[in-house]
Chains A and B, each alone.
Chain A
């Protein structure tokens, strides 16, 4: 990659193309009007991709933890923690967009919904991961023990977020016997925006992670 391209890549990220496609044209343009949701369904371009992105990032983080345990390279542990950091950021943003949306459609910013509560617990789990990392001085030890916890936490996070909300009554589409969004509310015009948005947000997460990993590497190199 040439220097110029590299700079453009740093500024726009790999998802720049997707963002142009998704948001500049579509966000303020056509949108199908839905009963109850009205045009707030636009939030589906932000809220849902943020969660999809978060789950992908957490999965990647768990994979890098497994890689660390197999190889013992500190670099893999660094990648794992930065992916977890970005995922937590996406989680907080997902909560924020979600509570905006809930305020308009369900009447309150934090309704007592199993999916919301599960996600809050999931966030606690990953904040605990960061606290666990903070309580070790030795690098190898910290890396190994927090990798073990990260894998364990992801394995509990999956049933927490995919199984528990589906068993009880939930306000969310696709849960507790509710039909999923795709069935009735999304038309093909929206899908054109929605699917690239999912890819775009995931790539945006990867890009943010990449930047922070580079920053850490530079800092580590400067310290030596």
Chain B
């Protein structure tokens, strides 16, 4: 147990180091989300103050969705095949996928908090229950990372990873996205928190299913 935790933390450390050494990719992602938010801000510029809370919320999550797909798509193509083979001789595939999911969760958290602050800064912040909204961001980050990491592993094996990543992940992510949209809308309207417990439970359940499946299925994927 202690051994596997140590291995997991070593793998996580490797992911962070890799990202830090290739800062252009990280900076690219940060600029991507800020740029997307700004494009939306300017596109809705025609009539100021016409953005209803529903549109505000949906737009934000769509931006996050595209950012997530772009950010996570590179988690398996960043390193060369030879080096991946080397990792597989060192650690078990389960630990590799878990470390990738954990790392992507942290990345998504950073991106979504940055996105939220920029978005709220330029487009105004109609959220009435900010702690619940932040909890939703947290749940969303975990869910996006968990379900997209395996899909990016699948897509990276194929000929045209970029298109395939989008095609495979849109339908897979939808149940999660719908639930998260619902919770964040409740937070936006400042509804009583007891209204959202049901959906939060379902998001957690979907996360659990997806993480378990990644854990079970990844060993079959990396062999090819």
Contact = CB atoms under 8 A, between A and B. Distances in A.
Interface of A: 69, 118, 121-122, 124-125, 128, 131-132, 135-136, 140-141, 144-145, 147-149, 151-153, 155-156, 159-160, 163-164, 167
Given A145-B224, A147-B220, A152-B150, A132 B158 contact: yes
Contacts of B209: 155-156, 159
- Interface size class on chain B is 20 to 34
A160 B175 contact: yes
A50 B164 CA distance: 30
Contact of B157 (A121, A141, A151, A163): A141
Contacts of B160: 135
Interface stretch (B74-82, B110-118, B127-135, B165-173): B165-173
B172 A125 contact: yes
A155 B221 CA distance: 17
B220 A144 contact: yes
- Classify the secondary structure of A's interface with B: helix
A145 B178 CA distance: 27
Contact of B159 (A135, A144, A152): A135
A151 B213 contact: yes
Nearest to B160: A135
A144 B224 contact: yes
Contact of B158 (A69, A122, A136, A164): A136
Nearest to A147: B220
B202 interface: yes
B172 A145 contact: no
Nearest to B176: A156
Contacts of A149: 151, 154, 168
Nearest to B153: A148
Given A132-B154, A144-B224, A160-B175, 4 more contacts: A69-B220, A128-B171, A132-B164, A136-B158
B62 interface: no
7 contacts: A69-B220, A125-B171, A135-B158, A156-B147, A159-B205, A163-B202, A167-B199
